Amino acid sequence: MSTGVHSKAAPAGNQHPDGPRLLADVGGTNARFALETAPGEIGQIRVYPGADYPGIAEVMQQYLKDTKVGRVNHAAVAIANPVDGDHVAMTNHDWSFSIEATRRALGFDTLLVVNDFTALAMALPGLTDAQRVQVGGGARRQNSVIGLLGPGTGLGVSGLIPADDRWIALGSEGGHATFAPTNEDEDLVLRYARRKFPSHVSFERVSAGPGLEVIYRAFAERDGVAVAEPFTSADVTKRAHDGEALALEAVNCFCGILGTFSGNIAVTLGALGGIYIGGGVVLKLGELFHKSPFRERFEAKGRFQQYLSGIPTYVITAEYPAFLGVSAILAEQLSNRANSGSSAVFERIRQMRDALTPAERRVADLALNHPRSIINDPIIDIARKADVSQPTVIRFCRSLGCTGLSDFKLKLATGLTGTIPVSHSQVHLGDTATDFGAKVLDNTVSAILQLREHLNFDNVERAIDILNGARRIEFYGLGNSNIVAQDAHYKFFRFGIPTIAYGDLYMQAASAALLGKGDVIVAVSKSGRAPELLRVLEVAMQQGATVVAITSSNTPLAKRATVALETDHIEIRESQLSMISRILHLVIIDILAVGVAIRRAAPQAGAKLNETVAKVREAGDEEAGAVLDWLSHGASGAARE
C-alpha cells in the first residue's frame, strides 16, 4: 500500500531542464519517495513499507510505475545507514545493494546515496518557524555549527559546519556511542539492557524508538508488572497519553536520556547554532516531550550548564524534511558537475545545436539526454543510436573543440564523477557474468580515472626525459610484475635503445652490477617492499644508474627511486591476483612509451598524415577525409590521454 500527497505543479518555465528528479528517504521501516519538478517543488509523495519489497531497486521501480513519470535522469536517496563506498548493507533492515548496479538497473544517469541524517542536516538552514518548535530557552547564533539527532528506528546523528556561503554536512554514527546512565533509574535500565544486548549497550538502544519499550520493560520487571505480548514502543506512547503511571515514568526516563545525549552532541560540536531533533518518535510524544525532563537534562553539564543554557533546542515539525536536504545535496552535486570541464561541453552543445546539421544535431541530443551512451559505447553503437554515420560522430566531437571521440568521452566522464563508480565493488559468489563482468570493468575504469586525477605528471615528464636520453634501459619485475616488464621491453626496443627485461632476481643482480651512468632501470612493483629488489637497485644506483619506479606511494621503492610514478588503488581481497595494479602499471608504461614516441617522431608522422588528408579531400571523399582527419588530430589526443 502507498499513500500520496501532491503539491501544486511548478510553472513550466521553472522546471528542471533535465526532467523531474527522484528523491527518496529510506528508513528501517518505510521508504518514502517524491518527485521534484523544479527547485522547491516536491510532489507525488508516496510511502512504501520496506518489508513488502526484496530490495531498494524493486521499490523504486514500483514507485516509478505507480507515478507513470517516464524517464528520470537524476535520483538521490537518503538512507538510514552509513554510506561508505559502493556497497550498502542496511543496519536496521535486510536490504543490501550496490549503488552503481542499482543505477544501471534503473537507467539513471545519476544516483546519489547519502546518510539520511546527512540529508536532514542539509535541510536545517531552510526550515521556517512553522517547520520547527523550540523547546526551552536559548537563542541560536548565525553562521554557527548546528547539531542534529533523531530517534526513529535508530538514533541518527549529524551536524552542519558553516563554510563561506555554504554548509558542510557531517556524516556520523554517534548514536552508537556507549550509553552512560546518570541516575539510579538509568542504572536499572542499563542492567536490563545488558542482558538483552550483552556485547554493547549504545545510546541508540535506549533513546531510539525501540528504547521506549526497553525502558518500560525494565521498570515493569522492577515493579513485578507482567507485560502482555505483543508489546511495542507505540503501546508505551499510547499508554502514556492515556495517563498510565508506568508508561509516563518510562517516557520521562527516555526523554531525560535523550536530553543528556543531546547535550553531549552540543558540547562535542560546539553547536551554538542550535540542536535540532528529527525523527517520528518525539513528534508522537507531543506535549509529553515538552513537559519531560529533556531540557533540564540537556543543560545538566555541571560547569558547562550556562554554556548549554544559551543553546536552543528545536523539534522539527516539517512533514518530509529529508526530501529538502537530499534535494539540496543533489542540486549541489549537479551544480559542481555544471562548473566542471563537462559543463563547458554541455553548454557548448546547447549554444551550437541550432547551427549543426540535422545529423550532427541527433548526436548532440544523444549527448545531452544520454551522456553515458557517449561515455560507455563504442563509436559504432553511438552512430547507430543517433542514426548517423561514424564520421558524423567524429565531426561533431571536433566541432566542440575536442581532438576526437576519446577526448570528448573523457571530458564528459570528468564531469560525471557522481555517477561513474569511484570505489571498489566487491565480486561475490553467485554473481552472474553480467554482474561480475560489470564490476571488473567498473573497478578498472574507476582506478584509471583516479590515476588520471592523482598521477604526478611532473614526474612523468622527468621519467620520459630520462628514458628518451638513456644509453640502455632495463625493466625489472618480479612475479606478476614481470608481465608488465616484458610488455615494456616489447614497446621500448622499437625506439632503437638497447633494452631488456628481467623477471629473475639472479639475472637482475648480475646485470645491475654492470650498469653505469646513462643506464636506466624501470622497476615495477605493486608492494614496493621486496628487500632483494631494493638491494639490486641500490647496487645499480651506486654504479651511477638511474631508477624509475612504478609502484605504490610511500613504499621503500618509491622513496629510494630517482623518479617514482605512484599508482595507488583499491583491492580488497589479498588472495586475488593484482588485476587492477597490473592494468595501472601497463597504463603507465603506455604513457611513457607514447611520451618517448612523441619526443622522437611525432612531428614527421603528423605532417605525412596531414598531407594524405588533404589529398583525400581533394578527391571529394568527405567521410574518408573525416576519419583520416580524426587520426591526424585524435591520435595525438589519445596519446596524451
Closest alpha carbon to 265 in 164, 184, 151: 151
pLDDT above 60: residue 366? yes
Least confident of 176-185, 366-375, 508-517: 366-375
Beta strands in 152-287 (DSSP E): 155-163, 166-172, 275-277
Average pLDDT for residues 16-29, to the nearest whole number? 89
* Side-chain-side CA neighbours of residue 17 (13 Å): 7
What pLDDT is attached to residue 333?
76
Task: Select the more confidently predicted residue: 470 or 626.
Answer: 470
Residue from 207, 189, 193, 206 nearest 151 by CA: 207
pLDDT of residue 427: 59
The average pLDDT across 8-23 equals: 69
Q: How many helices (H) and strands (E) does the chain have?
A: 27, 19
Give the Cβ contact number of residue 69 at 10 Å: 15
Checking DSSP bridges between strand 155-163 and strand 87-89, what pairing results, if any?
unpaired
In this prediction, residue 613 carries a pLDDT of 54
Q: Phi and psi of 399, rounded to 5°?
A: -65, -20
**Is residue 419 scored above 50 in pLDDT?**
no
* Residue 185: half-sphere exposure toward Cβ, Cα within 13 Å: 18
The answer to whether 367 and 349 are in contact (CB under 8 A) is: yes
- Residues annotated within the binding site for ATP are 24-29
d(CA 421, CA 424): 8
Return d(Cα 462, Cα 562) in angstroms, integer.
Answer: 10
pTM across the whole model: 0.52
How far is Cα 86 from Cα 572, in angstroms, rounded to an integer? 13
pLDDT of 641 reads: 33
- Integer angstrom CA distances of residue 505 from 429, 482, 541, 568: 37, 11, 16, 25
* Cβ–Cβ under 8 Å, residues 160 and 273: yes
At 625, the pLDDT band (50, 70, 90 cuts) reads low
Burial of 156 (0-12, 13-18, 19+ CB in 10 A): buried
**Of 578 and 3, more confident:** 578
Does 365 have pLDDT greater than 50?
A: yes
**In what helix (H) or strand (E) does residue 135 lie, and over which residues does it extend?**
strand 132-135
d(CA 253, CA 362): 66
Q: What is the pLDDT, as a whole number, of residue 156?
A: 85
C-alpha cell at 136: 526551552
Average pLDDT of the segment spanning 231-243: 94
What is the end-to-end Cα distance of the chain in Å, rounded?
52
- For the beta carbon of residue 603, count every other beta carbon within 10 angstroms: 8
Residue 87: count of CB within 10 angstroms of its CB:
17
* Sheet of 110-115, strand order: 4-5, 41-49, 30-38, 21-26, 74-79, 110-115
Q: Could you give the CA distance from residue 179 to residue 186 in angstroms, rounded to a whole number?
A: 10
pLDDT higher than 60, residue 309:
yes
Residue 572's pLDDT is what? 41
**All cell numbers assigned to 584:** 595501472
pLDDT in tens, 34-83: 999 988 889 999 999 999 999 999 999 999 999 999 889 899 999 988 88
What does the pLDDT average to over 576-586?
75
Which stretches does DSSP call E strand in 415-555? 472-477, 499-502, 519-524, 546-551
pLDDT of amino acid 367 = 83
Is residue 299 over pLDDT 70? yes
User: What's the half-sphere exposure (Cβ side, CA atoms, 13 Å) at 134?
Assistant: 12
Compute the average pLDDT of residues 256-271: 95
Find which of 287-296, 331-340, 607-616 is predicted with most confidence, using mean pLDDT: 287-296
Per-residue model confidence (pLDDT) at position 337: 55
Judge whether 273 and 144 are in contact, CB under 8 Å. yes
Strand stretches in 215-271, DSSP E: none
Mean pLDDT of 312-321: 91
> What's the chain's average pLDDT?
83
**Residue set of the binding site:** 24-29
Can you read off the three cell numbers belonging to residue 303?
560547569
Residue-wise pLDDT tens digits, 508-529: 999 999 999 999 999 999 889 8
How many of the other CB atoms lie within 10 Å of CB of 401? 12
Residues 28, 30: Cα–Cα separation, whole Å: 6
Q: Taking the CA of residue 335 as centre, how many other CA atoms within 13 Å lie in the half-sphere pointing to its CB?
A: 7
**Residue whose C-alpha cell reads 542540486 in the numeric block:** 331
Cell 617492499: give the residue.
529
Contact 628, 616 (CB under 8 A): yes
With residue 373 as reference, give the H or E element that holds it.
Answer: helix 371-376
